[in-house]
């Protein structure tokens, strides 16, 4: 399968690979897996407690090129957004940006789920009600 230029770029130069301190109350960790292929994605956010702006994001993904590109893009997109704004990111935007073909759509779903899981973890740590379950197309 031919990957789009943007997938190849994120795959060859992934942004924000790494780990944040999962014990910090400012950090939320999302760990999700795709039943379709067994790929696993971990995405972490660091949230400013005063402004609720996501100041840092890191990921580690064991999976295909599209999953790596989706998580790399997701970390770029959440940085600088508030938690509420980041929750609005949908996998369809990732599909569009990376020009993912239909068989790779679940890779983008993994990235959306990872963002939501990271935010959910952060909310739990900070005594906030968790958001509703995601609605995928």
Active site residues: 37, 107
CB nearer to ligand FES: give 27 or 43. 43
Each as own residue / partner, the long-range contacts of residues 51-57 (CB below 8 Å, 24 or more positions apart, any chain) are 51/82, 52/82, 52/83, 52/84, 53/80, 53/81, 53/82, 54/78, 54/79, 54/80, 54/81, 54/82, 54/83, 54/86, 55/79, 56/16, 56/20, 57/16
Question: Shortest approach of ligand FES to residue 55 CB, angstroms?
Answer: 27
Question: Shortest approach of ligand FES to residue 64 CB, angstroms?
Answer: 3
**Interface ranges with ligand FES (CB under 6 A):** 34, 36-37, 39, 63-64, 66-67, 104, 106-107, 110
CB nearer to ligand FES: give 69 or 83. 69
Question: Shortest approach of ligand FES to residue 118 CB, angstroms?
Answer: 17
């Amino acid at each position: 399968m031919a990957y789009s230029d943007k997938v190849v770029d994120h795959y060859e130069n992934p942004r924000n690979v790494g780990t944040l301190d999962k014990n910090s109350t400012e950090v939320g960790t999302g760990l999700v897996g795709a039943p379709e292929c067994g790929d696993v994605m971990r995405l972490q956010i660091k949230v400013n407690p005063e402004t609720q702006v996501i100041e840092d994001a890191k990921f580690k993904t064991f999976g295909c090129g599209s999953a790596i590109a989706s998580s790399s893009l997701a970390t770029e997109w959440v940085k600088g957004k508030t938690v509420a704004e980041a929750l609005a990111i949908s996998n369809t935007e990732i599909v569009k940006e990376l020009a993912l073909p239909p068989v790779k759509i679940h890779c983008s779903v993994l990235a959306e789920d990872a963002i939501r899981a990271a935010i959910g973890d952060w909310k739990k740590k900070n005594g906030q009600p968790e958001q509703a379950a995601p609605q995928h197309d």
